[in-house]
A = this chain, B = another copy of it.
Amino acid sequence: MSDERVTVGFVGIGRMGEGMVRNLLAAGHPVSVYNRSAARAEALAADGARVAASPADAAAGAPLVISILADDASTEAMTTGPEGIAAGLAPGGVHACMATISVELGRRLAAAHAEAGQGYVSAPVFGRPPAAAAGALFVVAAGPEDALGRCAPAFDAMGQRTFEVGHDPVMANIVKIGGNFMLASLIETLGEAFALTRRYDVDPDRFLEILTGTVFPAPVYKIYGEMVASDRYEPAGFKLPLGLKDVGLALEAAQARTVPMPIGSLVRDQFLTALARGYHEFDWAGLGRVCAEDAGLPVRQEGEDAGLPVRQEGDDAELPVREGGE
């Protein structure tokens, strides 16, 4: 939409950030990168990125700085801490936070930047590392008009589409949080439905084929359905404790506005049960195991999986991954 080339600071070079930076560079934006463990940042130098010494250094001289870090704590530390983004960003500069963070932190970051005469945009994404590498992320963005305008060229370079949802940054945070809650609910729903049908001897692969072949053709049903049908949850795409954390973000935001979310509460308890059983390394689809066990079902064996369909490339482009470098 815009061919303006703004200089971009970029903080947090994880599996997501790597692809995003490459796409910014490819679109002609000079990028100044910072990551806590420097090796990941340095790997991008070959592509033309400048390696910064601190978040403040990455932000210095850039009209726009993007961050995508692992969680609230690291985002806050790298933004408002000493040597943080806010310390380096010039007045009038804009910080776009693309991680999945709490509404409460979104609010604090907006306030901190406003106090420093800087702009702030929340812009979490739907998508995983392959989508980040392909420039095919979906960006959900909210913030003041002019700050959004500043971000547009960068968002265009990294994503296939940007959805602007309002001028209060937390509106983007809540949309992302709401979307992840819906995925968690879908997983628990699959868990219960497969437990029910398995107890009536219906072949799980057949049941999945029917679901995705009739009423539920979306890729998410295929991806999570395959994990639940096969009863295998490793290696994880998005680990179970992260699922608990994101549902926690939803419940916290809901409580602040007196929104009861009974499915959210229930899913939270299921995640806790899963962790009490030691499933920390499972994908968050591992709720399927909890449901199966609670129905008295044995773990499904490899041999039973004969007909398991092959996952196709790109199917899971929109699913959550924990963002962020270290």
Contacts and interface: CB of A to CB of B under 8 A. Distances in A.
A192 B261 contact: yes
In the complex, the count of this chain's copies comes to 4
A278 B275 CA distance: 23
Interface string A155-179: 0000001010110101100110111
A276 interface: yes
A202 B174 CA distance: 8
A31 to B, nearest CB: 26
Contacts of A278: 296
A289 to B, nearest CB: 13
A42 interface: no
Interface residues of A, number: 79
B200 A170 contact: yes
A interface, over-half SS: helix
Interface in A262-299: 262-266, 268-270, 272-273, 275-278, 291, 294-296
B254 A215 contact: no
A185 B187 CA distance: 11
A268 B217 CA distance: 25
Contacts of A183: 215
Interface in A87-110: 103
Nearest to A275: B258
A229 to B, nearest CB: 12
A181 B138 CA distance: 30
A116 interface: no
A182 interface: yes
A163 B209 contact: yes
A199 interface: yes
Given A189-B186, A260-B270, A166 B201 contact: yes
B192 A181 contact: yes
Contact of A181 (B193, B201, B213, B296): B193
Contact of A196 (B161, B218, B261, B266): B261
Contacts of A238: none
Contact of A193 (B178, B199, B202, B211): B178
A253 interface: yes
A38 to B, nearest CB: 33
Residue of A165, A186, A266 with most partner-chain B CB within 10 A: A165
A313 to B, nearest CB: 17
Contacts of A216: 182, 218, 220
A248 B210 CA distance: 22
A311 interface: no
22 contacts: A103-B200, A161-B213, A163-B206, A171-B200, A174-B197, A179-B214, A181-B189, A181-B192, A182-B215, A183-B215, A188-B263, A195-B261, A196-B254, A196-B261, A199-B257, A200-B257, A215-B220, A258-B295, A260-B276, A260-B291, A262-B269, A262-B270
Given A163-B209, A260-B270, A273-B294, 9 more contacts: A138-B214, A166-B202, A168-B200, A170-B200, A185-B185, A218-B221, A258-B295, A259-B272, A275-B296
